[in-house]
Amino acid sequence: TFIHLTFLHETGSNNPLGISSNCDKIPFHPCFSIKDILGFIAILAPLAALAIF
């Protein structure tokens, strides 16, 4: 999730390497942040459950 947030959302385009190109810019949508937060919780919750219980 951290790599996804730093590279994909920083450039604003759909290349995970962060290559800057002005032709394929996609405007940032809040739905992406919500999906990132839900994905982070979905990964963190089972790990926290294993550590706590």
**Tens digit of each residue's pLDDT (9 = 90 or more) over 18-36:** 555 555 556 666 677 788 8
Bigger pLDDT: 50 or 1?
50
**Dihedral sign (CA 19, 20, 23, 28):** positive
- Full domain range(s) for residue 30: 2-52
- CA atoms of 50 and 46, how far apart (whole Å): 6
Give the H/E segment covering residue 53: none
User: 23: which 2 tokens?
Assistant: 């032709």
User: Which one-letter amino acid corresponds to residue 5?
Assistant: L
- CA atoms of 33 and 31, how far apart (whole Å): 5
In the chain, the number of structural domains is: 1
Bigger pLDDT: 1 or 38?
38
